[in-house]
Structures are given as structure tokens and as C-alpha cells.
Chains A and B, each alone.
Chain A
């Protein structure tokens, strides 16, 4: 047994986190920065953080992840990292020539209190930033929130670049939240089908799913340009997908540039996608084309066709708040029973939202924000489930307890597809259901006796 020291009896832990269901802020900021065109993320801290964040993202995407670091030494850690960052800015613009550098911080630079705006001003004054190039930055202390918070903080820093020039650009801003490049592509496809002009940021499609051609571009064609981000202050409105990932950025656009915003759930599953499409239709004043209605109908059709396999099945979920809220709603909508739900990211609102979504279920639902996967495992030992949905670390629980497992969320280190196929929208819903069905039916066929083994299901 891989996790044989996890006891069934749950004792309260106040200080010890075991097998976390989150990681720290800067990796989220790094991921968001990669969604800016021509941007090099920069980690202002000691270099270990940067190496770890790059490695984790690269293992998830099987793509190069470029990012620089201030490489703090002990001296800088005591006397401040200004000199390191100034040198870094100069070196990066000279050697790697990005359009922008997006700086995030770590627990080190935050604890010592380095002041990014002050250092940026100095860099500009000392002409370390070539004309037309951009510096942006977000404080991302690792001891607050989680990777999701870091993503949100960088999105907010991007929104901070927006300017209202007085001329509306007729576009809708979409802050997609922490979703995959394939999901960002899917949002763009849906908007195009609906004839809605959007500005989406961050946008990692075309950055973290690039082709193999024999050439390597550190800065591929994808990503949202700085000009477009600046112009987002002129949009008609903002749809922010996910309270945890996108709301702060959207609210800043509202207060700073008077771009009204609406906070929606990440469009995973039938109902959240319905709300997204409906909101997009309403704010843009367009009608929904038949193609999209057809896609929706296909999803409903699949639910009805295979409902018997979903009905009443218990599911354990682990992941990030925005994703979990939509996924829980999706599972409830197809009559599955999400009974154990854990996120490592703090936020009381999360538990309340899940309780609302699951209120009508005829079973007890365990939910915890700031929980960990050790607790999830203990819950499963006490109340077994038919399916686990979560990131790659779940496979240790799945194997020990012999439970079918669908990989979903971040990070997925051991399977492919998330960067190419969406899991949001109606098409993404179809894909998620296909995965769930494959998993449940593979298990059924593994377990069925030979006399019960059937061709048609």
C-alpha cells in the first residue's frame, strides 16, 4: 500500500498539512504571465522557487516554460533584492528581448519587504527598460492563499495596465480564470460562433500547446498583447470566470476604468455553460447560433443516453475552488453524488457555495476549504466512493483503495490531452462525460464475471 500510514480514524490536525490540495502563489502568477504575448515571467526571490514552478508547469504541459529569477543570495535576502532585480531586468531585455517582463514575488522577497513599484521606477529611470517595453508586477506572498491567489494577483496586475481612453472598443473582456490553453481556445471559438468580439486574458493558447517544427521561439505567437490588455479599459463589459481566479481583476477594471463586470462560474458542465452563453448573449446583444444550441443538445442527449451509469454514483473531488464549484454542480445535474470535496485554497465562501449546490442531495456531503488530500483519503476510507476526480496525486489514493479515477485539474503529470482538448463549454462537457464513462465502464467490465460480461452497454 502506497499510503499505508493513513489511518481511518480522523484526528484533528491544527498545524500539520499532509499531502496538500494546493501549492503556492507564484506558480499561478507564472502561469498567468505566460498568457501575455512576448512576456517573460520573472520570479523575484531565490532561484529554487523559479526552478520548481517551471518544472511543475513543464511536467503538466510537456512544453518549455521560460521564466527568469532574481537569484537571491544570503546577502540580498538580508539587505534587499533591488540590485538583483535591476540586474535581472537589464540582462533579460538584453539577452532574451521580451516585450514585457511580468514580475512576481515569493515568500522571501515578501518577508523582507521589497517594493516592486519603487524598483520598477528605478529601472525605468536608469534606462534598463528599452522604449516600448513593459514591466508589470504582482506581489504573490506564498504564505497567503494558494496558487489560485497568485494567478488572481497577476490577472489583477494585468488589469492594472488597462486604460480608459474615452473611446469604447465594442469588445467584451473575458477573464477566463485558471483554465487550460484548450479551454481558452474553446472560449474564443464560442465567442466567434456568437459573433462577439472579445479580449481574453490571460490566454495561454498558442503558448503552451505549440507545434514541433524544428524552431524554438521562447515567445510564440500566442498570448494577449500588452496593447490589447491596455485597451481592455475601453471594453463594454467584463465577464470574469471564477470568483477566486478572476473577480479581483474584473473589479479593478470596473473601479479603474468604469468597465462594468459580471462574475460568473467557470463554464464547466451544462448549467454553468448555460449561464456563460446567456450572459455573453445578453451583454453583447447577440443571439445564440444554432451550432451552439446543437452542441448543448448533444450534451443533454449524452446525459440521457447514459444516465443509468451516472445515477447515484458517489464521487470524491479535489481541486481548486472555481473548478470544484462548477464540477460539483455538473455532477449534481447528472444525478451523481459528490460526497467528499476538498480544496487546499482557503475561503469560507467555498464551503457555503458547495453546501448550496448539494443541499437537495439525499446524502451527507463533506466539504472543506483549506483541507488536504490526507483528510480526503480518510473521508474515503470512512465513506467509500465510486469515482475520484482530481489531479495526478489522487492516483495514490485511487490505487490503494481501488477506485476509478479521472484526472482533472492541476497538475496532471502523467497523462496527455488537457492542453489540446477543452473541458469547458458543452464540448468540454461531452469530453468530461466521456472520460467519466470510460472510467466507470472500464471498471465494470474488469469486475463483471464472465457470464455477466456484455458486448453492448
Chain B
């Protein structure tokens, strides 16, 4: 609004060269492999380097393994006491800073999300070891809260000083009898990013919790929703839609999750994966151990939501469900279409860049497409090659020295509980009808030719990209937000949603349309220059009469 339409004429290869120009040669060589011009090839995409160590001093956006494990996967669960074994910082910074909502606020169930618990290690614990203090802290937490479970998280120094948190957890579990205690070796230095923490969390939750429920879950069309963290109420909106369709969500990993929901995940008949990066390990293990197939879904974007619902209906192959899903889609789409029609003239033709964690840089492109906006550049902080190029590259992935010590656990079919949900023929038939099992095509495929895909974007590249490509909107996180806005470019946080949301599902799409309309058309971007700065040459003495 009011802004002159700018000409965007650039060659992505030139942009890439410009990004690399200033780097020392070694850094430039390494970054060159992590910056890719998307060529939109028919059958394959060019290879990108991802999930490799961060360049020291480059000002990365990345966090650590502890953040991926405690902050992301375990943080959203309401009735597990999350106890951080370490100095105070790790616990403090993960205290209520991710917006994973829970409805345990409103009932009498346990809700520990508002509490940050830590062993607050002191120098004496570093010197003499912290196991005794950890044991005492677990005991104190048990005496105060009597929770169903206590999860212990290691931080950087724990691994170095050799505290055996797993032995402590086991001992306390045996001692209590009525409280499951388990531990996560998610020291911050493991792996190269949050990603290692996801993997560690997946392994431990699967080992210690999944299958541990006595109660039988009833309901029709039972699914798990994997990799949905209920940021800003996304999970609530998805559950609302699923309920309306008559689909039973047994367990969300891990938005609004409870111990019992995790524990019952083996009772579902289909796993639906939202965030592939963080939870694909659990999806695979559920299939191997219990025979639950998984499909990739996406509830970000109204069209994507409709598509995902249809996919679920197709899987269950039940006329009643199919009919209901179509009814719901028709009903929900009406206000979405109206909202889109309203904002479209003001958003279409605008451009966006997305650099978010490990999945949203892909998912949110659906919403921008619906708004008529083009994604010029996108990338992840910590995704792996399969998230960029699709799961077909997995057999070719090499685990490098920095990630080799992340535990891979062996899972085999459960002698009692393994039950294939579909016969091989049924699976083949569904595949022929277009239901892809265990498949994720990745980010690159979703992007246009000559767009730029960048892994582990840093501060320098972010500024340079904005300067060169002048997008109408930049999407990333809190650390990037204000430097981008100083440049006069609206910035949308796609981690915290800037306190907004939900953005998932149909209601979420409407929220997002309005939010993006507000951002890209805000009057504030027109105020950066004062009148005397706009026309400095017109200086003269004002004559008072």
C-alpha cells in the first residue's frame, strides 16, 4: 500500500555468490554446499548439505540438543514433572518460553508446565558429582507433587563429569513403584543442533512410556498426531476438526499431551506425521513394533488441511467417514474462502522468505500460496537432507562424526501387540490410489525453480538476503525479528507466532490471512523517514507574517 511496485530482477546464482563473497575461503566452501539454487528438476532435486556442524562465530540461529529434547518434545506435556539436571540457566530459559498450550489448566488434572524444576548444580556438584543431589531432587519432587512420571534431562556438564542419570532414574523408579522415572542424555553439545535432542527424546519416550497404558482407548478411526506441539493452540484447532469429522485422536506428540496419551499411542490404527523432522523416529518405531502405518499430513493451510483429512478418510476407507469429512470441509471452507477473498487483493504478488526450525519453512508455504504470495527463499535451522530432498535420499545419508554418537535403538515387532493394521494388498491398493505411506517429499519440491534454499542461515546471510531481494515479509524467530524490522521489512515469527495463533486448520488459516494482511500493509513502514529527511534539499527560513 502506497509503496511503489519494485522490480525483482535477479539471478539466484549471483545472489549465492554475493552471499559467499565476504567469507574466509574455508567458510565459503562449506556454506556453498548449504546454499542451493532450486532447479525444480522432474525426478530429483540437487543435493544440499544439511545436519552438519555449525561454523563457529558465524552467528547461527541454532540451539542445542537439550532444547530439542526438553524444550520441544517433552516440554508440552502437562503431567510429567520435567526435572533439569544442570546449572540453572537451561531450566530457566525453557520456562514457559515456547507457547505449547494445554487444557489441563482448566481441570483438576496435573499441570506442571508453569513450573521450572532444576537441580541448580553448584561448583561442588561439578567437582564431586551431582548424582546425590539429583536423587534428592527427584525425591523432593515426588514428595511435593506425587506425579505419574518424572523425566530427567542432562545438560552440558552432566556428561562431562560422568553422572549416571539413567542409573539414578532406574533406582528411584524402583523405589517409588507408582511413578515412572526416566532420563534423557540430551547434553547440549551432542549432535549439531536441536535435531539430536528430538531423536534422543523419541527413543526414550518410545522405550519408557509408549505401550504403558492399561486403559483401552475406544472410538472410531483412531489416529496418532505426531509432531504437533500446540503452539498458540494449533493442536486444539486440529482436534476440533478431527472431532467434528468423527476421527479419534488417541495421542498427540506432544502438544497438550499427557503421560497416558503417550502410553496409549500403540492403540491407534494410523499415525499422521506433521513435523517430520522431530518425530519421524517414533512414527517408524510405532510401525515396526506395533504395525501402525504412517502418512505425512499437513494442517497448515486450508487446502492442505482438507487434503490431509481426505487422506485420512481414504486410509480408513469407510463411506461414513468420507461423507462426514466432505461435509466438514464444505462447511469449514466457506468462511475461509470469504476471508481469503477479502485479503487476497492486498497480499497477492507479495514475496516472502521463510527460515524456521525443521518443518514450518515448508508447511507455511501452503498458506502463502493461498494468499497469492511467492516464497523467494527458504530453509531450515536443523533439518536433514530428507526434509529438503525427500525421504528417498535416506539410504544415501552418511552419519558424520558429529552425530555418530546419537543413539539408534533397535525395535522389533512386539510378540503380543504387533498387529498389521492393513494387509500388504490393502497397502498396495491404497498406494495405487495415491496414499503415500512412510513418505515425505521434502521442502525443495514445493518450491519454484530458481528459488534459493539455505540450510542453517546465519545473521550475515539474513541481512544480505533482505538487502538484495527486498522481500515483503521475512519469517523466522525472535533472534532475527528485530534486526529485520530495523531494515524496514515486516517480520513474522513462525516459532512463537508473535503471541498470535492458532494458524493450523481452517480457523488458523483465517487468523493467518488477517495477520499477514496486517503485517505487509501496516502503515508503520511508511514512517521511517521524518518529513525533513524526505526532502532535505528544501531547506529555507520560514517567514512568519
Contact = CB atoms under 8 A, between A and B. Distances in A.
B140 interface: yes
B478 A143 contact: no
Interface stretch (A83-91, A177-185, A196-204, A223-231): A83-91
B137 A20 contact: no
Contacts of B479: 51, 54-55, 58, 64-65
Contacts of B144: 5, 7, 11, 16
A18 interface: yes
Interface string B100-114: 000001000011101
Contact of B114 (A3, A55, A72, A213): A3
Given A52-B93, A59-B478, A91 B122 contact: no
Contact of A5 (B90, B145, B482): B145
B65 to A, nearest CB: 7
Given A48-B65, A51-B64, A143-B125, A23 B528 contact: no
A287 B399 CA distance: 71
| A7, A20, A75, A344 pick with most chain B CB within 10 angstroms | A20
Contacts of A18: 115-117
A22 interface: yes
Contacts of A45: 156, 188
Interface string B128-163: 000001111101110111000000000111011100
A94 B56 contact: no
Contacts of A67: 59
Contacts of A19: 95, 115-116
B528 A213 contact: yes
A88 B56 contact: yes
A456 interface: no
A239 interface: no
A66 interface: yes
A71 B60 contact: yes
A382 to B, nearest CB: 16
Interface string B377-410: 0000000000000000000000001100100000
Contacts of B89: 23-27, 49, 52, 107, 142
B66 A17 contact: no
B55 A5 contact: no
B126 interface: yes
Interface string B47-58: 000000111111
A3 B141 contact: no
Nearest to B141: A16
B332 interface: no
Given A73-B53, A108-B189, A14 B136 contact: yes
A7 B140 CA distance: 13
A104 to B, nearest CB: 12
Contacts of A2: 105, 114
A3 to B, nearest CB: 6
A89 B532 CA distance: 41
Contact of A66 (B56, B119, B190, B459): B459
Contacts of B126: 107, 111, 143
Given A51-B67, A96-B460, A74 B189 contact: yes
B12 interface: no
Interface stretch (B20-28, B221-229, B233-241): B20-28
Contacts of B91: 17, 20
Given A4-B111, A143-B157, A374-B115, A70 B23 contact: no
Given A54-B479, A76-B189, A47 B54 contact: yes
Interface stretch (B201-209, B279-287, B485-493): B485-493
B375 interface: no
A310 to B, nearest CB: 31
Interface in B61-104: 61-67, 83, 86-97
B53 A212 contact: no
Contacts of B157: 107-108, 111, 143
B56 A85 contact: yes
B318 to A, nearest CB: 42
Nearest to B533: A213
A16 B58 CA distance: 37
B463 interface: yes
Contact of A75 (B122, B402, B482): B402
A173 interface: no
A47 B160 CA distance: 17
A42 interface: yes
A168 interface: no
Contacts of A452: none
Given A16-B117, A67-B59, A87-B56, A48 B125 contact: no
A15 B124 CA distance: 13
Contact of B119 (A15, A27, A146): A15
B55 A15 contact: no
A14 B140 contact: yes
Contacts of A421: none
B63 A87 contact: no
A27 B87 CA distance: 13
A218 B157 CA distance: 32
B56 A69 contact: yes
A68 interface: yes
B58 A68 contact: yes
Given A74-B405, A216-B487, A393 B95 contact: yes
Contacts of A65: 479
Contacts of B65: 48
Contacts of B401: 75
A210 interface: yes
Contact of B133 (A4, A5, A15, A54): A15
B55 A87 contact: yes
A178 B25 CA distance: 40
A131 B101 CA distance: 52
B337 to A, nearest CB: 36
A374 B140 CA distance: 13
Interface string A120-145: 00000000000000000000011110
B513 to A, nearest CB: 25
A396 B483 contact: no
B24 A90 contact: yes
A47 B61 CA distance: 9
A15 B136 contact: yes
A20 B105 CA distance: 21
B161 A70 contact: no
A372 to B, nearest CB: 8
Contact of A112 (B93, B111, B160): B160
Nearest to A87: B56
Nearest to B112: A5
A62 interface: yes
B67 to A, nearest CB: 5
Given A55-B93, A84-B56, A5 B122 contact: no
Nearest to A374: B115
B156 A91 contact: no
| B57, B90, B117 pick with most chain A CB within 10 angstroms | B57
B93 A56 contact: yes
B120 interface: yes
A56 to B, nearest CB: 6
A144 B482 CA distance: 32
Given A107-B87, A210-B486, A20 B116 contact: yes
9 contacts: A14-B140, A15-B119, A20-B88, A47-B54, A51-B62, A71-B62, A108-B160, A210-B486, A213-B528
Given A52-B94, A141-B123, 20 more contacts: A2-B114, A15-B134, A20-B91, A20-B118, A25-B89, A45-B188, A48-B90, A53-B93, A58-B479, A67-B59, A69-B57, A71-B55, A72-B189, A88-B56, A90-B24, A91-B23, A210-B486, A216-B483, A216-B484, A218-B459
Q: Which 5 A-B pairs have the closest CB atoms?
A: A48-B64, A88-B57, A24-B89, A15-B136, A52-B93
Interface of B: 22-24, 27, 53-67, 83, 86-97, 105, 110-112, 114-123, 125-126, 133-137, 139-141, 143-145, 155-157, 159-161, 187-192, 401-402, 405, 459-460, 463, 477-479, 481-488, 528-529
